[in-house]
Amino acid sequence: MISKEGILLEEKAVAAFFKHDYHDRGLKKWQGYFLSDHTQRINVIRKRRHENKTRQLHEQMNATAISEVVSRAMTKQQQVCVQICEYRDGELKINDLVGKITGLDGNFLRLDNRLLLTSMIVSVALVDKKSRPI
């Protein structure tokens, strides 16, 4: 049986250990719990955020200029690069989408399989055969 004095001595020893000898490594001690899938996903998210911060926003085209490029692309069946801009999850998201315009319906533009809201479109540019905007 342990006496009260023995318990007090143990508590003091534990308190002294944590105060003087123990050095908490913080998050480093938890790194071993990350699975490779988690680490890979975190790296993908970091890369996307970095790319989004460094991506340049094109000059905003007016509706007439966008309509001209869209009609030219549709008649020539040519690929376009469409830059869209949206505010999502507290961040400004800028995306450059490349594809063929397959339809235009009121406030929506159909780019391949994607349906884009025309108010989100910043710019539209024709793409030459070398996959570069003209």
**125 Cβ contact list (under 8 Å, min separation 6):** 69, 80, 81, 133, 134
Q: Name the CATH topology of 63-126.
A: SH3 type barrels. (2.30.30)
State the alpha helices, DSSP H only, in the chain: 4-16, 36-54, 63-76
Domain chopping of the chain, boundaries: 4-54, 63-126
pLDDT tens track for 30-78: 666 667 777 888 888 888 777 766 667 778 888 888 888 888 998 888 9
pLDDT tens track for 8-19: 668 888 888 878
- For the chain, what is the total number of helices (H) and then of strands (E)? 3, 5
> What's the pTM value of the predicted model, to 2 decimals?
0.55
Query: Could you tell me the pLDDT band of residue 96, with boundaries at 50, 70 and 90?
Result: confident
Alpha-carbon distance 46 to 52, whole Å?
10
Q: What share of the chain is helix, strand, coil (3-state, %, to 5)?
A: 45, 30, 25
